[in-house]
Amino acid sequence: MTEFVDPRYKQIDIWPTRTALAALWESQLAAVAAIEPALESLSKAVDLAVARLSKSETGRLAYTGAGTSIRVAVQDGTELGPTFDWPDARTAYLVAGGQRALMYSIEGAEDDFTDAIEQVVENCIGPDDVLVGVAASGYTPFTVAALKKARVAGALTIGIANNPGSPLLEEAEVSILVDTGAEVISGSTRMKAGSAQKIVLNMISTQVMVGLGRVYEGLMVEMRPANIKLRKRAVAMVQAIAGVTAAQADSALEIADWKIKNAVLIASGEKPDDASEILKRSKGNLRTALDRIR
Contact 35, 196 (CB under 8 A): yes
130-135 vs 91-95, strand pairing mode: unpaired
Contact 145, 113 (CB under 8 A): yes
Catalytic residues: 79, 110
Question: Which amino acid is it at 245?
Answer: T
Give every CB contact of residue 286 below 8 A, 6+ residues apart in sequence: 213, 216, 221, 241, 261, 264, 279
What is the rounded CA–CA span in Å between residue 24 and residue 11?
Answer: 13
| Triad 237, 243, 246: Cα angle to 5° | 60
Beta bridge partners of 161: 135, 177
What is the rounded CA–CA span in Å between residue 26 and residue 18?
Answer: 12
Question: Which amino acid is it at 133?
Answer: G
Contact 150, 157 (CB under 8 A): yes
